[in-house]
């Protein structure tokens, strides 16, 4: 396993290209299972999760060809039983369930894995597919869905923490080939859901309302091939914006879409970070001083849970007391103990973290527990005095394309080493 060695204290300066969105590309790749014709997806990030999804599609029988940031997929003939060892390693792989069910009328997929950030059941996925007419069973670690015919239906997919992004994607994909009309209430509104709907419509689907809580799918008999470009990764953009602020630098985020980042940009502004919107980029730099800010994570368009850890790293550097409340995943504070190793003063009270900021952080060995925690520790290490070693960065490689390389181009003293 690799680790990152970071010698902190250097302000980041320059321009960074924002990659395609990891949370968008995985469902897009799964959607290619809905047609026998070839599909081309552009701006695909080079991530371990993307490679895993490619392996899963190949195991199912699809032909996957990659050239640069373009992936061509043709699923002429596929099987409905996914490999246990592949699927269990990545939560996003569960989104093959809906397309396989729609095309083959049966699918068996193992219960998914991924980052350990709290309970993330797929009950809403199964509820939606059952509403379309599927019979669902769970045995020996597998979810099996069978249906002679899928029929459109009204359904409510709201859960304890709000809407489900992957659940909305799964049901939406299955509904494209169902007979009749499907209306999903409390659908996820994330840009990644809109991106998937745009791709499906380009394939011949009839989807309206994407990006709103009410999403309507009129089923069609078949879908065809299409070409699509993945949206920029809003979480990667937010991460580099926070890194620029934490190091008192100035960074241009090329390709970032401000309309996907309203909540993050609002909190950065409140914290004393200036963000200038330009034609094709965002310029981020700190004002004279940082201000303590309270944050509560919420479903889109609220503050994203995937930026909570990174923003907490920024608040550890900010004089005053800030409170970060996690409303999406109950175990997403595993980075707190590692930030404490660097000198942060953070206390957990229920769903909230109370940060007494302003202390100077100092480098130390830390352990990444999940994808976004890894990014938070990198940001803290960039701002800390001395050397920080971030271990288990395979988590980071799941969602950030060549992060160490991009940071070096911004002036960071960072190198990847084998543990």
Please, which residues bridge with residue 352 across strands?
A: 325, 349
Catalytically active residues are 115
User: Do the Cβ atoms of 390 and 379 come closer than 8 Å?
Assistant: no
Strand partners, 183: 154, 216
Strand order in the sheet with 135-139: 106-110, 142-146, 135-139
For residues 328 and 309, give the distance between their C-alpha atoms in angstroms, rounded to a whole number. 13
């Amino acid at each position: 396993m690799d680790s990152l060695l970071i010698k902190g204290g250097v302000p980041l300066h320059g321009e960074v290209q924002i990659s395609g969105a990891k949370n968008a590309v995985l469902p897009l790749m799964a959607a290619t299972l809905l047609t026998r014709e070839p599909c081309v997806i552009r701006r695909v990030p080079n991530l371990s999760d993307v490679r895993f999804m490619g392996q899963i599609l190949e195991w199912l029988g699809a032909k996957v060809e990659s050239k640069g940031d373009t992936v061509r997929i043709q699923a002429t003939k596929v099987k409905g039983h996914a490999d246990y060892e592949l699927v269990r390693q990545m939560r996003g792989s569960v989104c093959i369930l809906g397309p396989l069910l729609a095309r083959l009328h049966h699918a068996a997929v193992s219960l998914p894995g991924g980052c350990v950030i709290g309970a993330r059941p797929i009950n809403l996925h199964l509820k939606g597919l059952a509403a379309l007419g599927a019979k669902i069973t769970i045995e020996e670690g597998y979810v099996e869905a069978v249906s002679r015919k899928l029929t459109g239906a009204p359904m409510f997919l709201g859960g304890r923490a709000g809407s489900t992004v992957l659940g909305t994607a799964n049901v939406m994909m299955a509904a494209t080939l169902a007979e009749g009309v499907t209306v999903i209430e409390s659908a996820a509104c994330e840009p990644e859901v809109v991106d998937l709907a745009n791709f499906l419509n380009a394939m011949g689907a009839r989807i309206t309302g994407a990006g709103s809580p009410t999403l309507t799918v009129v089923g069609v008999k078949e879908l065809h091939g299409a070409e699509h470009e993945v949206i920029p990764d809003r979480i990667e953009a937010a991460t580099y914006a926070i890194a620029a602020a934490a190091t008192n630098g100035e960074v241009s985020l090329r390709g970032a879409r401000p309309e996907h980042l309203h909540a993050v940009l609002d909190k950065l502004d409140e914290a004393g970070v200036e963000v200038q919107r330009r034609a094709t980029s965002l310029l981020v730099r700190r004002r004279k001083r940082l201000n303590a800010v309270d944050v509560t994570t919420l479903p889109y368009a609220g503050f994203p849970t995937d930026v909570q850890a990174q923003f907490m790293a920024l608040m550890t550097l900010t004089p005053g007391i800030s409170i970060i409340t996690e409303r999406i995943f109950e175990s997403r504070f595993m980075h707190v103990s590692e930030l404490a190793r660097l000198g942060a003063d953070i206390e957990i009270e229920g769903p909230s973290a109370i940060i007494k900021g302003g202390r100077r952080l100092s480098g130390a060995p830390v352990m990444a527990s999940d994808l976004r925690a890894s990014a938070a520790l990198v940001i803290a290490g960039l701002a800390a005095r001395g050397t920080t070693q971030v271990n288990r960065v395979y988590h980071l490689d799941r969602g950030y394309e060549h992060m160490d390389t991009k940071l070096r181009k911004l002036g960071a003293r960072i190198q990847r080493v084998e543990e």
